[in-house]
Structure 1
Amino acid sequence: MESRSTSRRQPERAAQGGQYEYRVLTIDRSTSRSDATRLLTDEAEYGRWELARTRLYVGGERRVWLRRKIIRVRSTL
């Protein structure tokens, strides 16, 4: 299973008014569907990412956009 990932930090206003951090995963065409599912499940379970968008390209390459809310910690002092 070979996948390349690039992490991008792009705050974007959502419909609920939250800001999100995005991560784009590029999954090679030789990666099986079950391996890709396992990879995305691990990212969602342990990294708290949710699926935002999926694209399947002509050559068989998959590009997946994951997002998670940016949690800002405010000082209580």
Structure 2
Amino acid sequence: MRTVRLSQLSVNAEAEVQDLAGPPQFRNRLFSLGITPRSRLVLVRRMPLGGPLEIEVRGTRLAIRRHDADRVWVSVVG
């Protein structure tokens, strides 16, 4: 498996969360959204002009800022 930042993931790629970097407040916010280690997610689309990324995790679609996506390390599945 190849590990990359969530912001580097290709559209429609499925990945498993490996690590969340950053302060405890940031990690707790992602935990509350369902983004936890070993959870699976799919990058649905990238908004233009450096906008947020749309991801699907645990059956819910979320928007995450690219800056925050840089702190989420994932392993590409398949």
Please give the TM-score of this superposition, normalised by the length of structure 1: 0.26
Higher relative contact order (CA 8 A, sep 6+): 2
- Which one has a bigger Cα radius of gyration? 1
